[in-house]
Chain A
Amino acid sequence: MSTNTLVNAPTLAQRARNIRRNALRMGEVQGQGYIAQALDISDVLAVAYFHAMRYRPEEPTWEDRDRLLLSNGHYAIALYAALIEAGIIPQTELETYGFDESRLPMSGMASYTPGMEMSGGSLGLGLSIAVGMGLGLKRKGSKSRVFTLFSDGELDEGSKWEAMMSAAHHKLDNLIAIIDVNNQQADGPSKQMMGFEPLVDKLEAFGWFVRRVDGNDLDAVVAAFDAASSHPQPQPRVIVADTLMGKGVPFLEQREKNHFIRVEAHEWKLALAELDAGDRS
């Protein structure tokens, strides 16, 4: 949780709604983007940034912060939306998303953006870096934790499983992984590209503490983060979040599922309107 004490702090649902709105506005600015993924992961990011993680918005490199490594760099639009909501990136920069000279490139890179802890894009990197950070934090005697978000498609990468074994081997109880199971990758449904179920059994067999939840049920996500934080055994933790692409915007939820969904120019406003309508209902 941010060290800023907020009076009348918005609810997690409001935070998630704001993250979705930020993402949609960036999508509108650029006319494209991995918007369906951003919408599916907004609830998880709301819980991460407004319930689970310690950080200082005004000091993104604060030594005692919890780190979040975005392994799936194409989710940058979602993380920027969360970083804007968290006050780490100014709201005004939203308009620069994807433009030349912007600090918000379409694929997340540590060298560009405050609060972006790694350069993703080449999928499968994040968990290995997280292992090193986890080892480093322990070596320093730090209480900070490493969160890393990656997608179900990344489970195809062998490096993920090297890192899974390593994290358990080194008993990294300061590492919390989040897997976005939206069942969609570049060439189609993830489970058809390379079957990864039974995922919970696999992860447990690799020595991890596992919680699998509906990633769009805020209460369930909060419970999963709490369980992952308080689990007493010296082992790494993973939250498997089953999510719905396009969540929160009904016409995008229902659109034929694609990795990179088409949104027509006039539809961005419509999407924002549907998001707000859903919030009022």
Chain B
Amino acid sequence: MKSAISATPGKPRLTTSAMIASIAAEGQKTKPAPFGHALVELARSRLEVVGLTADLGKYTDLHIFAREFPDRYYQMGMAEQLLYGAASGMAAEGFMPFATTYAVFASRRAYDFIHQTIAEEDRNVKIVCALPGLTSGYGPSHQAAEDLALFRAMPNMTVIDPCDALEIEQIVPAIAAHHGPVYMRLLRGQVPLVLDEYNYQFKLGKASLIRDGREVLIISSGIMTMRALEAAKELAGDGVDAAVLHVPTIKPLDHEAILREAGKPGRLVVVAENHTIIGGLGEAVAALLMRSGVHPAFRQIALPDEFLAAGALPTLHDRYGISTAEVARQIKWWLR
């Protein structure tokens, strides 16, 4: 039986375990449906772009595309195996399907279909999935804690974990320019805008040093880059100088940038990811460092290897150590 989440003294007790919850903090800058709008923009010039979904158009921001291009939008019903098999068939006919659902359904239910009909045949299908990692309070049915591990393990698959709205807008044309299957984690709805302050530009397969620092190097992807940047500001107030290396492309991994940054002496290396501690960015970086003979002090911030609880996202992010406060607290503890 699952242990109940106990209220932290002094904090209001949040009660929602809704399926859809915004990951934006109160008052945070956001943009609406960046994926949907970027796909519309792309589709104006790339006539081979089609949109497919399995009864989650509205919840993957594909409804924006559907509104603009109704005849290029295919509703496949609540059938994820069909969704990806059909996407493969359309790609075989020269189209570039963007096929959306939730990350749990693509990675768990449709895995064999993606493996055999898309990855093995190297079909040009873009798999774009909402609710990655722990971005739903609904419980394990909708928490895709293991999606990166599963798709990393699949040959031919490019795997991307974007941080914010700006990056999602940049990723859409970048993955269209790449021929082959791509798995992209999606943030939908009101999506935080973070990287606009850092003069950021996404490049497929490239990591990006967003902030430099002397004492700790945080290597992160997805929303954990947002958390790492917030934590770095908090740490600076405590006199801790933190660097943040953002690694949006989980596969292929940017070996050169990771080895260069992790190889600089005197820094604690912390990999932070919104994913189970098994098989994601942390273990990918650890293996790369070990294979390359680079051995810094190394820690991981990741979700535990357990079925996660239902609850309000802020509560869960605190509990599992991926909130900004928890990231800063853990780093200070390791540096003590």
Contacts and interface: CB of A to CB of B under 8 A. Distances in A.
Contact of A111 (B74, B113, B120): B120
B89 A134 contact: yes
B112 interface: yes
Per DSSP, chain B at the interface is: helix
Interface in B80-126: 81-82, 84-95, 97, 112-113, 116-117, 120-122
Given A139-B95, A165-B77, A166-B77, A130 B113 contact: no
A189 B80 CA distance: 30
A166 B86 contact: yes
B90 A132 contact: yes
A158 B85 CA distance: 13
Given A132-B88, A169-B77, A125 B116 contact: yes
Interface in A107-140: 109-111, 117-119, 121-122, 124-125, 127-137, 139-140
Contact of B85 (A110, A121, A163, A169): A163
A204 interface: no
A159 interface: yes
Contacts, number: 98
Chain A interface mostly: helix
Nearest to A170: B74
A134 B50 CA distance: 14
B300 to A, nearest CB: 34
A8 B93 CA distance: 35
B77 A131 contact: no
A159 B90 CA distance: 17
B112 to A, nearest CB: 6
B85 A125 contact: yes
Contacts of A159: 79, 81-82, 85, 113
A235 B159 CA distance: 38
Most buried by B among A110, A118, A128: A128
B259 interface: no
A217 interface: no
B81 A135 contact: no
A30 to B, nearest CB: 23
A247 B91 CA distance: 37
Contact of B93 (A111, A127, A136): A136
Contacts of B50: 139
Contacts of A134: 89
Interface string A137-181: 101101000100000000000110011011001000000000000
Contacts of A158: 81
A114 to B, nearest CB: 14
B116 A128 contact: no
Given A140-B94, A162-B79, A129 B86 contact: yes
A135 B74 contact: yes
Contacts of A133: 89-90, 92-93
B77 A162 contact: yes
A131 B85 contact: yes
Contacts of B286: none
A139 B94 CA distance: 11
A162 B82 contact: yes
Contacts of A136: 89-90, 92-95
Q: Which among A111, A159, A169 has the greatest number of chain B C-beta atoms within 10 A?
A: A159
Contacts of A109: 120
Contacts of A169: 77
Contacts of B94: 136, 140
B284 interface: no
Nearest to A132: B89
B76 interface: yes
Nearest to B99: A132
A121 B117 CA distance: 11
Contact of A125 (B76, B79, B93, B113): B113
A109 B121 CA distance: 8
Nearest to B92: A133
Contacts of A119: 116-117, 120-121
Nearest to A111: B121
Nearest to A138: B93
Contacts of B97: 132
Interface string B292-306: 000000000000000
6 contacts: A128-B113, A129-B86, A131-B89, A133-B90, A135-B90, A140-B94
Given A109-B120, A131-B89, 4 more contacts: A110-B121, A129-B85, A131-B86, A163-B82
Interface of B: 50, 74, 76-77, 79, 81-82, 84-95, 97, 112-113, 116-117, 120-122
Nearest 6 CB-CB pairings of A with B: A132-B89, A128-B85, A136-B93, A132-B86, A133-B89, A162-B79
